A = this chain, B = another copy of it.
Amino acid sequence: MAYQKVTQKDIDFLISITAADRVYSGDQINDDFTHDEMQEYGKFMPEVVIEAISTEEVSQIMKHAHANNIPVTPRGSGTGLCGGAVAIHGGIMLSLTKMNKIIEIDEENLMGTVQAGVLLMEFIKAVTEKGLFYPPDPGEKSATIGGNVMTNAGGMRAVKYGVTRDYVRGMKIVLANGEILETGGKVIKNSSGYSIKDMMVGSEGTLGIATEITVRLLPLPKKAVSLLVPFGTLDQCIETVPHILRSRSTPTAVEFMQRETIENAEEHLGKQFPDKSSDAYLLLSFDGNSTEEIEGIYDEVAQLCLSKGALDVFISNTQERHESIWSTRGAFLEAIKGSTPEGLDECDVVVPKNRVADFVKFCAELNKEYGVRIRQFGHAGDGNLHVYCCKDQLSDDEWKPKVEAIMQRMYDKAIELEGQVSGEHGIGHAKVGFLGESVGAPVMNILEGVKKAFDPKNILNPGKVVNRF
């Protein structure tokens, strides 16, 4: 791929169609733009960073890039974990964070329309104020809605409510050639041709740039309760999950956590977790419209947990207690990162729910076998696990071959268990090889054909998801 380098003439033109104080080049470019949350996957300097403020600007930028064969990397908050929003081929980095308007919260149709750069936490706040509910709940609340859509972010509540894809209903998209199109809309059903919005969801900015997004909302459940359940052993803990899911008591979330990760979080947050009795916990939440409705459900689950070896069941039915436990859960990633400043690598596989125990135990074995500290936590209720290999005090020479071997074995194991490479973080550039191995050549050929249909010159976020066509 022979891309054109960005020249001063390009920069002058890009300023002429945007504004001088939103175009950065050379030393003006903040180091943050060279990486996402995983600096371990390399640092790459874009040639120019532009903060767009409208779909029309994005369109004009793409027209220029297309005509001049300049690669463009769209970017939201840069909170990704696979190197999806880094400019590995240089060129233009197109930041959408200034496109942060909530365009409409339509209470009649229960739909919200936002610019792509609206932060998840801002959107949650706005819909909650109107008594509405946007169910997707990825841990990183400072991510943009655009980023969530582009990785099909999942989060805690997938067990009951599904993932981002299930809520996206429409989009305004700028194509690689600068054309603007709208797809879907405020409609609940749609069988009008291949679903472009579903190709865009999870495409990590490689097929088009979503500048506006319409999502479905629900009425806000009136009550929520969490259960914190310590178990005697990790096995008992994990193996209780399928029993919970088979009961008719649909929890909103089912997370598992281990003592050692909790301790990292306690240190990170500077506050104590409310229980110290066990090495392995399930954390469940339930929501509904009345205390009675939820009580019946969580009582049943509490009894079930106790019958499967739970040591106790702590009920958090106040907002304060609820938040105390979930803030610990929410701090896991940062806490683990903090515990291994020399570096780490992560894996985000998803397996069928009844294979979670197998995968968790497999990782514990890898920990012993390679002498690398492995921390894991995740969404036991939906089979999506986050596993972190910590470099700690290992030298680069020790670390590199070990982590490569561990990652390969984890992905192989996920495939063996009929799982997938990524549950919610995506592929970026870091996982392209693992994706290719897991899905095989016929599927990669089709993905590459789809990429070509959208972006024949391969200028939109090249090298991510697929790396050629």
Chain A residues with a Cβ under 8 A of chain B: 106-111, 131, 151-154, 158-159, 162-163, 165-166, 175, 179, 181, 183-196, 198-199, 201-203, 207, 218-220, 222, 242, 245-248, 250, 289-290, 292-293, 296-297, 348, 350-354, 379, 382-384, 418-427, 435, 438-440, 442-443, 446-454, 465-466
Assuming A199-B199, A449-B454, what are 10 further A-B pairs, CB within 8 angstroms? A108-B245, A110-B353, A163-B188, A181-B440, A188-B353, A188-B383, A189-B383, A194-B203, A194-B447, A196-B446
When the two chains form their complex, are residues A198 and B165 in contact, meaning their CB atoms are under 8 A apart?
A: yes
Instruction: Identify A427's interface contact among B193, B198, B350, B352, CB under 8 A.
Output: B193
Interface centre among A151, A153, A192 (most CB of B within 10 A): A192
Instruction: Identify A354's interface contact among B108, B199, B427, B448, CB under 8 A.
Output: B108
**Nearest B residue (CB) for A352:** B186
**Nearest B residue (CB) for A219:** B248
Number of copies: 2
* A162-B166, A246-B110, A247-B219 as given contacts; A192 in contact with B290, CB under 8 Å: no
Write out the residue numbers on chain B whose beta carbons fall within 8 Å of the beta carbon of A440. Answer: 181
When the two chains form their complex, are residues A194 and B190 in contact, meaning their CB atoms are under 8 A apart?
A: no
Q: Taking the nearest CB of chain B, how far is it from the CB of A468, in angstroms? A: 14
When the two chains form their complex, are residues A465 and B194 in contact, meaning their CB atoms are under 8 A apart?
A: yes
When the two chains form their complex, are residues A189 and B435 in contact, meaning their CB atoms are under 8 A apart?
A: no
When the two chains form their complex, are residues A109 and B354 in contact, meaning their CB atoms are under 8 A apart?
A: yes
Q: Taking the nearest CB of chain B, how far is it from the CB of A201, in angstroms? A: 7
Write out the residue numbers on chain B whose beta carbons fall within 8 Å of the beta carbon of A352. Answer: 109, 111, 185-187
